[in-house]
């Protein structure tokens, strides 16, 4: 017997960065070799093919984002404060020009839409889970009396997520921090109102 040498999580994070930087189709096997440090044969041995690598990278991305989400929403007792922190973090990600600014999910969704139904379904499910997680937090904020009881948590979650999508796209052309901050501020206000 012999175990694999590489750290799978590290490899997957390298791969997801590569995919986010250049897009899935434009990321060649050579790019992936350079990014992950794995030779083609190893990649095919571990992930079957390039698409398999994307699939596992998407799953790792989901886990990482879930951990990040939980971290933000266990920071303070007041849910709406955590929500604000989360949103501020999105803005900061957009401002700092590193590749993390783009969400792998929406990026891959844009690219593979209408072409690979299975991947589209996986991404949709991931985004739905995020939406549901937000809805739960809005429900919590209602219990904490920070959001009026007559609001629909599901709708708030959808609107909030829509705002984040829009913010990220907007940031790609106008990444001025003060403008993004202002947009995020209004989004936050509109959701609370």
* Interface residue list for its own copies (CB under 8 A): 21-23, 25-26, 99, 102, 106-107, 109-111, 113-115, 123-124, 127-128, 155, 158-159, 161-167, 169-170, 172-174, 179, 182-183, 186, 190
- What's the closest the beta carbon of residue 62 comes to its own copies, in angstroms? 14
Which of 22/66 has CB closer to DNA? 22
Six token digits for residue 175: 């990444």
- The answer to whether residue 39 forms part of the interface with DNA (CB under 7 A) is yes
- What's the closest the beta carbon of residue 125 comes to its own copies, in angstroms? 9
How far apart CA 29 and CA 43 sit, in angstroms, is 9
Do 102 and 171 form a contact (C-beta atoms < 8 A)?
no
Among DNA, its own copies, none, partner that 45 touches (CB below 5 to 8 angstroms by kind): DNA
Q: For the residues of 23-75, what is the DSSP string, one character each?
A: -TTT--HHHHHHHH---HHHHHHHHSSHHHHHHHHHHHHHHHHHHHHHHHTTS
- What's the closest the beta carbon of residue 7 comes to its own copies, in angstroms? 26
Among DNA, its own copies, none, partner that 29 touches (CB below 5 to 8 angstroms by kind): DNA
Q: How many CB atoms lie within 10 A of CB 192?
A: 16
Q: How many CB atoms lie within 10 A of CB 104?
A: 24
C-alpha torsion 56→61→67→70, nearest 10: -130
Among DNA, its own copies, none, partner that 30 touches (CB below 5 to 8 angstroms by kind): DNA
- What's the closest the beta carbon of residue 57 comes to its own copies, in angstroms? 17
- Lookup result for tokens 């899935």: 24
Residue 75 phi, psi (nearest 5): -75, -50
- The answer to whether residue 161 forms part of the interface with DNA (CB under 7 A) is no
Which of 145/193 has CB closer to its own copies? 193
- What's the closest the beta carbon of residue 105 comes to DNA, in angstroms? 20
* Positions 7 through 36 that interact with DNA (CB under 7 A): 27-30
What contacts 53, CB < 8 A, 6 or more positions away? 12, 15, 32, 43, 47
Binding site for DNA (CB under 7 A): 1-6, 27-30, 38-42, 44-46, 49-51
């Amino acid at each position: 017997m012999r175990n694999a040498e590489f750290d799978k999580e590290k490899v997957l994070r390298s791969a997801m960065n590569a995919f986010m930087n250049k897009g899935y189709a434009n990321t060649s096997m050579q790019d992936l070799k350079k990014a992950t440090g794995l030779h083609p044969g190893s990649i095919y041995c571990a992930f079957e093919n390039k698409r398999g690598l994307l699939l596992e990278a998407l799953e790792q991305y989901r886990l990482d984002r879930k951990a990040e989400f939980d971290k933000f929403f266990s920071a303070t007792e007041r849910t709406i404060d955590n929500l604000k922190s989360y949103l501020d973090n999105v803005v900061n990600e957009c401002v700092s020009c590193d590749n993390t600014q783009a969400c792998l999910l929406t990026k891959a969704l844009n690219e593979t839409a209408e072409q690979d139904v299975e991947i589209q379904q996986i991404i949709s499910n991931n985004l739905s889970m995020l939406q549901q997680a937000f809805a739960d937090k809005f429900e919590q904020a209602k219990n904490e009396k920070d959001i009026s009881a007559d609001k629909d948590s599901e709708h708030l979650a959808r609107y909030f997520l829509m705002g984040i999508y829009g913010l990220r796209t907007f940031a790609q052309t106008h990444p001025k921090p003060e403008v993004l901050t202002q947009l995020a501020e209004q989004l936050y206000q509109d959701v609370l109102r």
